[in-house]
Structure 1
Amino acid sequence: MNYRQLGRSALKVSELCLGTMNFGPRTPEPEAFAILGEAVDAGVNFIDTANQYGGHLGVGTTETLLGRWLAQDRTRRDRIVLATKVHEPMSDDVNDRGLSARHIQMACDASLKRLSVDHIDLYQMHHIDRTAPMEEIWQAMDRLIAQGKITYVGSSNFPGWKIAQANETAIARRRLGLVSEQSLYNLIERRAELEVIPACREYGLGLMVWSPLAGGLLAGASQDPDGRRQSGQARLAAGARSEQLSRFNGLCLGIGETPGTVALAWLLRQDGVTAAIIGPRNRQQLASALQASQVHLADDVLAKIEAIFPACGPAPEAYAW
């Protein structure tokens, strides 16, 4: 496993981050525990979750599951960088959501209890809250840092302008500010290259990539045993890009690698990317994802991939002229 600094912080994280959104609603607890153990044994030290994860089992389910896994062996906590998120609704209460200082404090305390830990390494804002002033948000985050409940602050699904606003406000307060952004980015969805990735580079944020396989479209049929791509919406998406996906699958076959492995390996070669978040639903998918760290894509292969999935181009030229 390879390790990279998380943005301008001195923290080292594995370039593959274990995403846990499936744990509980899609992956039963025994299988989730097995995945966690095998991922850590393989060198993954970065685990990402969110307070809302739980699907039909209810919000908080995934954090609670992780808490039980951590409680089985207290040495596990010191071996991992633990990340979770705040923002999404946790109940019908009008204040039990968003990024008010009140909700941030209460949500953090609730996450700590569910996770059975005394601190969170990376506390991320799951989405922007247009009603919350950045001064209020940083006041809440500074309090949590002073209390020893969180160590670093990150964002998720932030546009470039919000990353800039958040960090300029932090600079004015003489604080470290955001150290990471978690963004949608893959071969099919490359709009992050326009504004988000340049903003991350400018302000020294590490980029954590979610949905690196585009919801399974880039995984290839052999890596879709659960039929995730067989839903109506997925079939439409696959149909719209059938020519691209066919060319990509052929390229991967030609170099002897699976499409999912190549898609992950491509991401790990992109300037600014710190970690790709893998979300295996079973141990077989974990084993496949772990191979990406060992794959080297030659320059000619990278050029062919770019020809199949062209970049958006730099902003603002890409959309201005």
Structure 2
Amino acid sequence: MEYTRLGRTGLTVSRLALGTMNFGWQIDEERAHAVLHRGFDLGVNLVDTANMYGREDGDGLSERIIGGWLAKTGNRNRTVLATKVYAPMSDDPNDRGLSARHLVASCEASLRRLRTDWIDLFQLHHVDRTTSWEEIWQAMETLTNQGKIRYVGTSNHAGWHLARGQAAAERRHHLGIVSEQVKYNLLTRHAELEVLPAAAELGIGILPYSPLHFGALSGALRKQREGVAGRTVLHAPDRVEPHRAALERFEKLCAELGEQPAAVAIGWLLSRPEVTAPVLGPRTPEQLDVLLDAPLSAEVLAALDEIFPPIGNGGPAPEAWAW
């Protein structure tokens, strides 16, 4: 496993992050612990969750599953633990969003579920257009000073949100945003327009989620032909069919390389200079075994750009659409 710094911080994280959205929703506690064990054995130290994950079976179920694993294994000190806050957690109108009240209360609830004294990366799961950055940073300063969080990250924020948030943090002499978790993969390259350039300018690490586009980039067409059950078949009408022609070329290229499509898709993300660690969402321990033997060559990267072209003229905004 390779390691890098998270954004402009001194925190060392693995080049792959273990996402846990499936915990409680798709897999039970025993299987989730097996996934965590496999990630730990591979050297993955960044574990990402959210207070809302697993809510169909109870609020914070994913966090509770992780908390049980940490308590059982004693791996807390070697784990960089990330969680998120924003989504409604009850019918209470104040039990949602990014108000100072909800941020502090949600952090304390996550700490209880995770059975830990601190959260390494506390992430704003979505933009809250009704709450000012001044209020958000006031709450984050409180939590930092109390020793309950170490760093603050965002998710699903636009480039200008990152700029506004960081400017507000600097006015308060706060470290500010150190990471942005954004939907980014070969099929979804919108982040290249403004989010990635803003993050690079501000020293914010990029944690791409949905790196396989809900399984479409994991060999979906082959799995369909072979009748393999899973998310690639379940989501075929909206995740696969609109991209069938490109996916056919992609899977042919992977076959010629002798590599699994998932490994190539992850390898492409790892080749992007702004990317810190793709967030994988495994349902089995074996799905974590996606590392390439060697980085993708310039020729392969060019072929991928041809199959999955960037938006507009390519590159960041405004060059993507302007001269």
User: What is the Cα deviation at residue 127 of structure 1?
Assistant: 0.4
Structure 2 matches for 1:100-111, cutoff 5 A? 100-111=99-110
Q: Distance in 1 between matches of 2:223 and 2:198?
A: 34
Q: Which deviations, in whole Å up to 9, do the C-alpha atoms of 1:170-191 show, x marking residues without a partner?
A: 1111111000000000000000
Q: Distance in 2 between matches of 1:249 and 1:207?
A: 26
- 1:10 alignment partner in structure 2: 10
1:307 corresponds to 2:318 = no
Q: Which deviations, in whole Å up to 9, do the C-alpha atoms of 1:17-36 show, x marking residues without a partner?
A: 00001011211111111110
1:229 corresponds to 2:232 = yes
Residue correspondences, number? 316
Higher mean alpha-carbon deviation, 164-173 vs 236-245, is at: 236-245
Q: Distance in 2 between matches of 1:270 and 1:35?
A: 26
Q: List alignment gaps of at least 5 residues for structure 1.
A: none
1:316 corresponds to 2:315 = no
- 1:25 alignment partner in structure 2: 25
- TM-score norm. by structure 2 comes to 0.95
User: What is the Cα deviation at residue 236 of structure 1?
Assistant: 3.7
Contact 2:100 2:138 in 1 (8 A): yes
User: What is the Cα deviation at residue 226 of structure 1?
Assistant: 3.8
Q: Distance in 1 between matches of 2:246 and 2:61?
A: 38
- 2:253 alignment partner in structure 1: 251
Contact 1:47 1:80 in 2 (8 A): yes
Cα separation, partners in 2 of 1:92 and 1:319, compared to 1, 3 Å:
farther
Amino acid at match of 1:227: G
Q: Which deviations, in whole Å up to 9, do the C-alpha atoms of 1:42-62 show, x marking residues without a partner?
A: 100100000000042122000
- 1:202 alignment partner in structure 2: 201
In structure 1, the residue corresponding to 2:27 is in which secondary structure?
coil
Cα separation, partners in 2 of 1:44 and 1:245, compared to 1, 3 Å:
same
- 1:162 alignment partner in structure 2: 161
- TM-score norm. by structure 1 comes to 0.95
Q: Which deviations, in whole Å up to 9, do the C-alpha atoms of 1:138-184 show, x marking residues without a partner?
A: 00000000000000000000000100000000111111100000000
User: What is the Cα deviation at residue 230 of structure 1?
Assistant: 2.0
In structure 2, the residue corresponding to 1:273 is in which secondary structure?
coil
In structure 2, the residue corresponding to 1:216 is in which secondary structure?
coil
Contact 2:223 2:232 in 1 (8 A): no
- 1:143 alignment partner in structure 2: 142
Q: State the identity %.
A: 52
Q: Distance in 1 between matches of 2:243 and 2:294?
A: 25
- 2:212 alignment partner in structure 1: 213
Q: List alignment gaps of at least 5 residues for structure 2.
A: none
1:51 corresponds to 2:29 = no
Higher mean alpha-carbon deviation, 192-201 vs 304-313, is at: 304-313
Q: Distance in 2 between matches of 1:234 and 1:95?
A: 37
Moved over 6 A (4+): none
Contact 1:223 1:260 in 2 (8 A): no
Q: Distance in 1 between matches of 2:143 and 2:295?
A: 41
- 1:114 alignment partner in structure 2: 113
User: What is the Cα deviation at residue 283 of structure 1?
Assistant: 1.8
Contact 1:24 1:54 in 2 (8 A): yes
RMSD across aligned positions (CA): 1.4
- 2:188 alignment partner in structure 1: 189
- 1:260 alignment partner in structure 2: 262
Q: Distance in 2 between matches of 1:270 and 1:46?
A: 19
Q: Distance in 1 between matches of 2:241 and 2:104?
A: 45
